[in-house]
Amino acid sequence: MCRPLIRQAPRPVLNPIMRTQLFSALAVLALATPTFAADDAVTGAWRVHGKVSAFAFDLTCRFEQKGHSLGGTCYDGGTNKPHPLTRGEVAGDHVSWTYQSSYLLNKFDASYSGTMSNGSIMGGITVPGHQGNFTAEKQP
């Protein structure tokens, strides 16, 4: 009985230059891939103090960061009224969020945008027709 001759495909061989280029490319890709080790940099409770025109206020915000998205709820300092975030984003050290609030019977969006550094965020607040400033400190 005759057996058919089975040939194995030749194994590709990488010369040293190709091997170095391949490993270099893989190292660059590994370094370029965004990592979210600091996903929880903003996650947690924050004490926010702000002032818009002559109106000063305090809030406690509980944020949850997932990648570049920011969710959570801010609570009025005096009434503890919840204001769920309608939008939130983290991009590097820049943090922004928006929630709906009301004054008398008028509803409006309050938008915050600031820079995070050493456990605090400083920036500006925008509400229809007014602007102000805020500082936020991360709570333990």
Q: For residue 125, what are the contacts with CB-CB under 8 A and spacing of at least 6?
A: 50, 52, 110, 111, 112, 131, 132, 133, 134
Burial of 138 (0-12, 13-18, 19+ CB in 10 A): middle
User: What local confidence, expressed as pLDDT, does residue 40 receive?
Assistant: 76
Distance CA 65, CA 63 (A): 6
Flag the least confident range among 1-10, 24-33, 104-113, 125-134.
24-33
**Radius of gyration of the chain, Cα coordinates, nearest whole angstrom:** 26
Quote the domain boundaries for residue 89: 44-138
| 8 falls within a domain | no
CA distance 69 to 113: 14
pLDDT band at 10 (very low <50, low <70, confident <90, very high): low
Residue 84, domain member (yes or no): yes
How many domains are there within the chain? 1
pTM: 0.72
Residue 112, domain member (yes or no) = yes
For 25-74, the pLDDT digits (tens) are: 434 334 333 434 455 789 999 999 999 999 999 999 999 999 999 999 99
Alpha-carbon gap, residue 128 to 106, rounded angstroms = 11
Q: In this predicted structure, what is the pLDDT of residue 132?
A: 98
Is 20 inside any structural domain? no
Specify whether the CB–CB gap between 33 and 20 falls below 8 A. Answer: no
Rounded Cα distance between 61 and 50, Å, is 13
CATH number for the domain spanning 82: value is 2.40.128.30
Q: Is residue 121 part of a domain?
A: yes
In a domain, 74, yes or no: yes
Whether residue 3 lies inside any domain: the answer is no
In a domain, 125, yes or no: yes
